Copies of this chain bind each other. A is one copy, B any other.
């Protein structure tokens, strides 16, 4: 890679730059970053070599901006010929919005399962993608040769790559990522300021994702609202089962529900 334009010099964009530089994949990174403080910090830390106002025509582009900005960027880059890949947590909605449009032929939809509740250039980590899963959701328009190239870049920074249907992606991540974030945010709104000093490790782990970025997550919730609401309805049904067991003082029913819940997680390491 002779260089890469990164749209959005946040945690993911800067971590990719750092990892790609360390892996010898690329040594020149240009970034488009609307926030001047973030832009300055990415330069100071040596993560980015130049702040630019638009992608150079000859360079591949990494769209590491909030999810709702991916489609507008792709429309703007319709004539761009080098590969373009994104990192948005929503894939089906982007594919649907692009359907029927003449987008860039070199677009490869990607989603690294490597989030973190911290953000910005200071949180950049060269090992962020190490042994992490990256989901690629090719569409009918995706050039297989370009997809193979982008797959190789992710592998170069240490990731495992898996292909998936974009709608299936959105169903799975509504359940395993978007719903937990929504629950953690809603939960934290009910916490009293003095509660924290009495909280234990369970609280800390459970609410960690509740410290995630507001711009990023408001965009994800809105883009994947359909699948998120399916997951939420399922959750509410199960919560009501628990409440019924607790209200009726049926400890055995409550115990059975917990037992079933635990078993859903049993194959996962701690």
Contacts and interface: CB of A to CB of B under 8 A. Distances in A.
B188 A200 contact: no
Given A198-B133, A265-B207, A185 B243 contact: no
B205 A208 contact: yes
Main secondary structure of the interface of A (DSSP, over half): helix
A212 B262 contact: yes
Interface residues of A, number: 89
A188 to B, nearest CB: 4
A33 B203 CA distance: 29
Residue among A175, A193, A262 having the largest count of chain B Cβ atoms under 10 Å: A262
Q: Specify how many copies of this chain sit in the oligomer.
A: 2
Contacts of A257: 185, 189
Interface of A: 68, 113-118, 132-133, 135, 162, 172-173, 175-177, 179-196, 198-212, 214-215, 217-219, 221-222, 225, 228-229, 231-232, 234-235, 238-239, 241-243, 246-247, 249, 251-252, 254-262, 264-270
Given A116-B201, A189-B257, 20 more contacts: A115-B202, A172-B198, A175-B190, A175-B192, A180-B207, A181-B202, A182-B239, A185-B242, A186-B261, A188-B261, A189-B260, A190-B231, A205-B208, A208-B270, A214-B259, A218-B251, A218-B252, A218-B258, A221-B246, A229-B243
